[in-house]
Amino acid sequence: MSKETTISFKLNGGSATVTAPPSMSLLRVLREGFQLTGTKNGCGEGECGACTVLVDGESVNACLFPVCHAEGRQIYTIEAFDDGSDTVTHPLLNEFMVHGAVQCGFCTPGVVMTTAGLLHTKPSPTIEAIKEALAGNLCRCTGYGSIIRAVQAAKNTFFMPEPEPREYSCQIAETDPVDIIPLKNLEELANLGVLETWDMRFISGGTDLMVYKNCCDYDKTGDVWIDLSQCSEIHGIRVENSKLYIGAGTTWNELVRDPHVRQYAPALVSAAKQVGSNQIRARGTLGGNLGNASPAGDAYPPLIALGAEVKTCASDGNHREIPVDQLVVRPGKTCLNTGECITEISMSIGSKMRSGFFKSVPRCAQALAKVSVAIAFKIDDNIIRTPGIALGAVGKKAFRVINAEQFLDGRSVDSPGIDDIVSACIEAAEPAEDFRATREYRIHMIDVGVRKTMNELLSGHSE
């Protein structure tokens, strides 16, 4: 059971203090604690975006944001745009008004906040960037066209509103089934002591755990969350001794932006770009995705193909290194011991290394993979070396296709034997038939995904 904690942050330019269970969602604190009901609850899963707020300038889903993570942050909600006038005064909102971008209005505050987050960093986004940013905000009324036109019209005029600062303070007494223990550094892990008696999880971004909690799926939440987000050891990306090191707490958006990752692990960047929505990518982390051990986890295929390893830290302070393809035992379960967490992901790099990623999805954004394929190799004198080929969502876990790798290793770029690789991949897969896709389709997507990725990686390479 949780102890209430007091958390202070900046809210709409004023100061906010809340005493509440630490794993309570920011959404509930805003709505129930501060009566800021402009931020809406549409799903509780980070799918609809109606609860979007800005945290340090980035749009996030307030429903998946544990309030303890708000400490010291700068948060803006839709109420920041309300200056008490009879009608709207901010130019962005005015564009929404005159373009007919509001119908039922329930998605509107979230859409406005997403847009604010976009225009705040990119004052003049392309239409594609606007659509990408909005992909995490479902609207069932407008068909999005009027919203996009409104945002286009607001280009180069956006400024963050500066509302009259208010003091926000509240106390929410509630028995919360989940407690959070924040760690300042990994050494503190050793001091926790009684780990075995807890049904514990590690939390960083919370984009999975908070979903379980909002759905009251307490088997999946456990009762104690060890919060790693403040541990400096899990942050940062560096290149050292021909290896790329990525902190487990790196968010998807950080991965996408990082020049090293872009240079040495394009497959991972491609996967990161396609995870969830912008709001999810701002919070979800690489380590969290691995720890969640989903068969469709987006990080697995690229990391397996790239031959990555995770470094872990156990509660006794010991470290070990585990290849990513050996991390998962069964769906939802890694081989990590109780109290052992992923701290870092590393992989060998080389200038000749190429990698690519393919994900089959039912719509253009925000979707779980029906199939994912990642391929990596280097080319030495027109010969393919050290290939890595991995598949996701077509088995109990993402896996390396060793037969396909053996086929490919040492082949010339002019005759890579793609048909054999495809056959080996299909042979190795155990695609399920479910509501997301048929078995036949998954097999076809392995075929297409492998061919597309191989063609992409080999294109332009005819020396």
Partner 1 sequence: MKESDSEREMISIGRSVVRPDVPDKLLGRAIYAADAMRQGMLHVATARSSVAGMKNIQIDISAAQNMPGVQRVITAKDIPGNKYVPLIVSDMPFLASEQIRFYGEPVALVVARTRQEAKSAARAVQVTGEMFDPVLTVEDSAGPDSYVIYEGDYEKNIFKKYHIQRGSPDEFWPESHVVIEREYRTPHQEHAYLETQGMIAELDENGEVQVMGSMQCPFYVQDAVASILGLAKAKVTVIQMVTGGGFGGKEDVSSVVAGHAALAAALTDSPVSLIYDREEDFIAMSKRHPSVIKIKIGANREGLLTAAEIYITLDGGAYSTLSPVVLWRSTVHAAGPYRWQALRIKSRVVATNTAPNGAFRGFGEPQSVFALESAIDELADQLNIDPLTFREKNVIASSSDITATGQTTVNPSILEALEKVAEKIEWKDKFTGAYTGVVRHDIEPIRGLGCSVSFYGVGLGAEGKKLDRAGAFVQVESDASVRVFIGNTEIGQGARGVMAQIASETLAAPLEYIHIHRADTSRVPDSGPTVASRTTIMSGNAVMNACQTIRQSLETSAAMVLNCAIDNIKTDQRGYYDAANPSTAVSFHEVVSVATAQRQQMSSSGWYVAPDTSFDSAGAGQGNAYSTYVWSANIVEIEIDPGTLQVKALKIASAHDIGRAINPREVCGQIEGGVLQGLGFALTEKVAYSGLTPSIQSVPDGIMLNPGFSGYICPTAMDIPEIFPIILETPYEHGPYGARGIGEPPLIGVAPAVANAVSNALGIRIRELPLCPEQILNELIKQGRL
Residues from 422 through 461 that contact partner 1 (CB under 8 A): 432-438, 440-441, 444-445, 448, 451-452, 455
Determine which residue in the list 147, 271, 349, 418 makes contact with partner 1, applying CB under 8 A.
147
Determine which residue in the list 141, 160, 170, 192 makes contact with partner 1, applying CB under 8 A.
141
Give min distance, CB of 40 to partner 1, in A: 7
| CA–CA distance, 27 with 53 (Å, rounded to integer) | 9
Give min distance, CB of 401 to partner 1, in A: 19
| CA–CA distance, 289 with 286 (Å, rounded to integer) | 5
Nearer to partner 1, 259 or 363 (CB): 363
Asked if residue 401 lies in contact with residue 390, where contact means CB atoms within 8 angstroms, the answer is yes
Using DSSP, state whether 407 is helix, strand or coil: helix
Residues 54 to 73 in contact with partner 1, rule: CB under 8 A: none
Nearer to partner 1, 176 or 405 (CB): 176
Give min distance, CB of 176 to partner 1, in A: 9
Query: What b/e string do you get for 384-418 counting C-beta neighbours within 10 Å, with b at 16 or more?
Result: bbbbbbbbbbbeebbbbbebbbebbeebebeebbb
Determine which residue in the list 1, 215, 335, 383 makes contact with partner 1, applying CB under 8 A.
215
Residue whose entry in the numeric block shows the structure tokens 């038939």: 433
The 172-201 site mask, x for binding partner 1 (CB under 8 A), equals: --xx--------------------------
Nearer to partner 1, 164 or 381 (CB): 164
The 104-133 site mask, x for binding partner 1 (CB under 8 A), equals: xxxxxx--x-----------------xxx-
Q: In angstroms, what CA-CA distances link 328 with 51, 246, 288, 295?
A: 33, 19, 13, 9
Number of residues located near partner 1, criterion CB under 8 A: 83
Asked if residue 404 lies in contact with residue 421, where contact means CB atoms within 8 angstroms, the answer is yes
Nearer to partner 1, 7 or 454 (CB): 454
Determine which residue in the list 137, 251, 270, 279 makes contact with partner 1, applying CB under 8 A.
137
Residues 393 to 422 in contact with partner 1, rule: CB under 8 A: none
In 38-154, where do the E strands start and end?
Answer: 52-55, 58-61, 74-76
* Burial class of residue 326 (count of CB atoms within 10 Å of its CB; 0-12, 13-18, 19+): middle
Determine which residue in the list 11, 16, 50, 282 makes contact with partner 1, applying CB under 8 A.
50
Residues 278 to 317 in contact with partner 1, rule: CB under 8 A: none
* Window contacting partner 1 (CB under 8 A); options: 30-38, 227-235, 256-264, 299-307: 30-38
Count helices and strands (H / E) in the chain. 17, 20
Determine which residue in the list 144, 198, 212, 245 makes contact with partner 1, applying CB under 8 A.
144
Mention every residue, 6+ apart, whose C-beta is less than 8 A from residue 145.
none
Structure tokens at 148: 């996009």
Q: What is the DSSP string of 260-279?
A: HHHHH-HHHHHHHHTSS-HH
Long-range contacts of 94-98 (CB under 8 A, 24+ apart): 95/150, 95/151, 95/153, 95/154, 96/147, 96/150, 98/150
Asked if residue 267 lies in contact with residue 390, where contact means CB atoms within 8 angstroms, the answer is no
* Window contacting partner 1 (CB under 8 A); options: 92-100, 247-255, 262-270, 307-315: 92-100
Give min distance, CB of 195 to partner 1, in A: 27
Nearer to partner 1, 25 or 334 (CB): 25
Determine which residue in the list 64, 75, 118, 135 makes contact with partner 1, applying CB under 8 A.
135
Determine which residue in the list 26, 48, 68, 209 makes contact with partner 1, applying CB under 8 A.
48
Our finding on whether 212 is near partner 1 (CB under 8 A) is no
